[in-house]
C-alpha cells in the first residue's frame, strides 16, 4: 500500500511538471532603484513613480524584483549586493535605474540621495559605479538587460568643472556609452552624451512608454525597445530619442504571455462557447475577435439545433409510446372478445369449430362474421352477434392505429427534413450528429414493428424517399445552409462537399 501511494505521488508530480509551461522554470531577477529626494541636488519629480511602476510591471511578467527608492550610498550598495547573489543562478536579469547619473572621465556613476559631489574624491567615494552593476549582471548565465533612465542633467557639472583646470579629468553631459558584453541589452532613455526629459506626468516619457510596452505580450525585446523609441520620439516631438545597444544571439521576451494570435491559434477549433466568450472579453479590439464571434455563433447554432432535435425526439418518443399502449390495449380487448365469442360458440354447439379465431397475420379488418349455429336461442344469437361486432370494431380500431402509426412516422421524417432545410444541417452538420430518428429510444423503434405481425410497407416509403430529399437539398442549398457554409469558409473549415455547395450558394 505504501509503495502504491508513493507511486501515485510520483506520477502526480510528473503530470504536474508536464502541465507546466517550459518557460515557467525560467528564473528571472531584477534590480529596480528610483532616487528622487536628493539632499545636495535638485529633487526629481517622478523617479519614485517610475521605479514603483517598473517594479510592478516586472513582477507581472515573472521577475523576482529587488527594489528600493530614495536609497543612500549604503542602501544602493546593499541592493546591488543582494541582486548579485540572486543573479548567480538566474536565466535572465535586469537592472533599472531612475535618478541622477553622471559621467566622469568617460565612466558612469549613479548618484545616491545624500551624495555631495564637489570634486573627484566625491565622485569616487560618494556615488555608485555603474560598472559594479554590470559586474552583478554578469553573474547571470542568461540574458542581461540594463535600462538607464538616468541621463538627466548633471547637477554637479558646475562644481566639477571648476577643478578641470588643475586636474586631468573631463565632465560630460548625460551618460557615456557602456561597453556591452555578449548576451546583454542596454537601453538608454536618450542618446549617449545627451540629456533626457523628466516629463510632466506621473512618469518620464521613457519609462511611461516602457511600462506600456511591457504589458504587451509576445514582443521580442528588440522590437519592444524600438516601439519605446518611437513612442518617446513622438511624445517629445523629436527632442528625445532613446538608444538601444543589443548583443543577443537569440530572441528574448519580457512578457511571455500569449498574444491574441497565439490564443486564437490554440482555441480556434474548440467547441466550448465559454472559451470564445473569454477570448472576446480578453481581446475586445483584436483582429480575431470577429472570427471568435463567428465561431461562437456557429457553435451556438449547432447547440440550438441539437437541443431542438432532442426535444423533437423526446416528443415523438412519447407519442409513439402512447400509441403503442393504445395498440396493446385494443389488441387485448379484441383477443378477449374473440375468446368470449369462441367460448359462446362452443357452448352452443359441442364439437363445432369456433366461429372466431385469433386474427391471422395480415388479416383484413371486418373479416370476422358471426356464423349461425343450429339450435341457438334468440338471446344466445344476439349475444354472439354482439361479441362478433365487438371483435370487428376492435379490429377496425387496430387498423386505425396502424394508420396513425404510419402518419406519425411520415410526420417525423417530414419535420426532420424541414428542420434540416431551415438550419442547413442536411449538408453542414458534423458527421456524428444523430438524426431525429436515431434519437428515439431503440425499444420504441423496435416495438412499432415487432408487435405487429405484418409491418405496414408504407412506413418504409418515407425512408426510401428521403435520399431524394437530401439530394434535392444538396442541389439547392437553403439560405440557412449557405449562411453556415460562408461562416465555415471564413474559418477555413470547409469540406470538399461544402466547397462544391459554396459554388451553388454564389
Contacts of 79 (CB under 8 A, 6+ apart): 31, 33, 66, 68, 71
The answer to the question of residue 103 being in a domain is yes
- pLDDT value at position 436? 43
- pLDDT value at position 500? 72
- pLDDT value at position 18? 39
The answer to the question of residue 488 being in a domain is no
Which is nearest to 175 in space by CA: 160, 155, 153?
A: 153
Sheet arrangement for strand 243-247 = 64-69, 28-34, 92-98, 143-149, 184-188, 243-247
Answer yes or no: do 148 and 236 share one domain.
yes
Residue 42 belongs to domain spanning: 24-247
Going residue by residue through the chain (506 aa), what tens digit of pLDDT does each one get?
Answer: 444 545 454 444 444 443 334 445 789 999 999 999 999 888 888 899 999 999 999 999 999 999 999 999 999 999 999 999 999 989 999 999 999 888 888 888 999 999 988 888 888 899 999 999 999 999 998 999 999 997 655 556 556 555 443 333 344 556 777 776 778 999 988 876 556 666 667 899 999 999 999 998 888 999 999 999 999 999 989 888 898 888 888 889 999 887 788 888 888 888 888 988 998 998 888 888 888 888 888 888 878 877 877 888 888 888 888 878 888 888 888 788 788 778 777 766 554 444 444 555 445 444 445 555 555 567 777 777 777 887 788 788 778 888 888 888 888 788 777 766 655 544 444 444 444 444 444 444 444 444 444 444 443 444 444 455 445 445 566 666 676 676 666 666 666 776 777 677 76
Answer yes or no: do 207 and 60 share one domain.
yes
Answer yes or no: do 369 and 238 share one domain.
no
Grid cell listed for 390:
365487438
Contacts of 327 (CB under 8 A, 6+ apart): 398, 401, 405, 451, 452
Angle between helices 479-491 and 378-423 (to 10 degrees): 40
Answer yes or no: do 239 and 332 share one domain.
no
Q: Is 384 helix (H, G, I), strand (E, B) or coil?
A: helix
The answer to the question of residue 430 being in a domain is yes
Does residue 395 contact residue 368 with C-beta atoms inside 8 Å?
yes
Count structural domains, the chain.
2
Residues of the chain by 3-state class (helix, strand, coil), percent to 5: 55, 10, 35
Answer yes or no: do 178 and 65 share one domain.
yes
- pLDDT value at position 449? 47
Answer yes or no: do 195 and 327 share one domain.
no
Answer yes or no: do 316 and 220 share one domain.
no
Domain end among 441, 462, 483: 462
The answer to the question of residue 286 being in a domain is no
The answer to the question of residue 502 being in a domain is no
The answer to the question of residue 293 being in a domain is no
- pLDDT value at position 502? 67
d(CA 439, CA 306): 10
Answer yes or no: do 66 and 168 share one domain.
yes
- pLDDT value at position 252? 92
The answer to the question of residue 297 being in a domain is no
Answer yes or no: do 241 and 327 share one domain.
no
Query: pTM for the full model?
Result: 0.56
Domain end among 247, 270, 296: 247
Answer yes or no: do 340 and 454 share one domain.
yes
Amino acid at each position: 500500500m505504501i509503495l502504491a501511494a508513493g507511486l501515485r505521488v510520483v506520477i502526480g508530480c510528473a503530470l504536474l511538471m508536464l502541465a507546466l509551461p517550459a518557460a515557467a522554470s525560467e528564473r528571472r531577477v531584477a534590480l529596480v532603484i528610483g532616487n528622487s529626494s536628493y539632499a545636495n541636488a535638485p529633487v526629481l519629480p517622478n523617479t519614485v513613480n517610475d521605479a514603483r511602476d517598473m517594479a510592478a510591471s516586472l513582477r507581472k511578467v515573472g521577475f523576482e524584483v529587488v527594489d528600493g527608492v530614495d536609497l543612500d550610498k549604503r542602501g544602493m550598495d546593499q541592493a546591488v549586493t543582494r541582486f548579485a547573489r540572486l543573479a548567480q543562478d538566474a536565466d535572465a536579469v535586469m537592472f533599472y535605474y531612475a535618478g541622477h547619473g553622471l559621467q566622469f572621465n568617460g565612466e558612469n556613476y549613479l548618484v545616491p540621495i545624500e551624495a555631495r559631489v564637489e570634486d573627484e574624491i566625491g565622485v569616487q567615494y560618494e556615488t555608485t559605479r555603474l560598472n559594479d552593476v554590470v559586474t552583478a549582471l554578469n553573474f547571470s548565465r542568461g540574458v542581461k538587460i540594463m535600462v538607464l533612465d538616468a541621463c538627466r542633467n548633471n547637477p554637479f557639472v558646475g562644481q566639477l568643472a571648476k577643478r578641470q583646470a588643475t586636474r586631468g579629468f573631463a565632465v560630460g553631459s548625460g551618460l557615456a556609452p557602456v561597453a556591452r558584453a555578449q548576451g546583454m541589452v542596454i537601453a538608454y532613455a536618450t542618446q549617449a552624451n545627451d540629456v533626457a526629459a523628466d516629463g510632466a506626468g506621473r512618469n518620464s516619457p521613457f519609462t511611461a512608454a516602457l511600462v506600456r510596452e511591457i504589458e504587451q505580450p509576445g514582443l521580442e525585446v528588440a522590437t519592444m525597445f524600438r516601439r519605446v523609441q518611437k513612442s518617446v520620439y513622438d511624445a517629445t516631438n523629436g527632442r528625445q530619442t532613446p538608444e538601444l545597444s543589443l548583443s543577443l544571439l537569440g530572441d528574448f521576451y519580457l512578457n511571455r504571455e500569449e498574444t491574441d494570435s497565439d490564443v486564437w491559434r490554440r482555441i480556434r477549433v474548440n467547441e466550448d462557447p465559454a472559451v470564445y466568450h473569454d477570448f472576446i472579453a480578453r481581446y475586445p479590439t483584436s483582429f480575431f475577435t470577429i472570427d471568435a464571434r463567428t465561431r461562437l455563433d456557429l457553435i451556438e447554432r449547432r447547440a440550438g439545433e441539437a437541443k431542438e432535435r432532442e426535444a423533437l425526439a423526446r416528443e415523438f418518443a412519447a407519442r409513439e409510446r402512447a400509441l403503442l399502449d393504445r395498440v396493446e390495449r385494443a389488441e387485448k380487448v379484441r383477443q378477449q372478445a374473440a375468446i368470449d365469442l369462441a367460448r359462446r360458440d362452443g357452448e352452443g354447439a359441442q364439437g363445432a369449430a369456433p366461429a372466431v379465431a385469433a386474427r391471422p397475420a395480415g388479416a383484413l379488418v371486418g373479416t370476422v362474421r358471426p356464423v349461425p349455429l343450429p339450435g341457438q336461442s334468440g338471446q344466445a344469437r344476439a349475444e354472439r352477434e354482439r361479441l362478433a361486432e365487438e371483435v370487428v370494431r376492435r379490429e377496425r380500431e387496430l387498423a386505425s392505429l396502424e394508420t396513425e402509426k404510419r402518419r406519425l412516422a411520415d410526420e417525423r421524417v417530414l419535420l426532420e427534413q424541414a428542420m434540416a432545410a431551415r438550419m442547413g444541417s442536411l449538408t453542414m452538420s458534423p458527421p456524428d450528429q444523430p438524426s431525429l430518428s436515431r434519437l428515439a429510444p431503440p425499444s420504441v423503434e423496435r416495438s412499432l414493428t415487432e408487435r405487429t405481425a405484418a409491418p405496414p410497407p408504407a412506413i418504409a416509403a418515407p425512408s426510401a424517399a428521403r435520399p431524394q430529399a437530401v439530394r434535392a437539398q444538396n442541389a439547392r442549398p437553403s439560405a440557412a445552409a449557405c449562411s453556415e457554409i460562408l461562416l465555415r469558409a471564413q474559418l477555413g473549415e470547409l469540406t470538399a462537399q461544402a466547397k462544391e455547395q459554396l459554388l451553388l450558394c454564389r
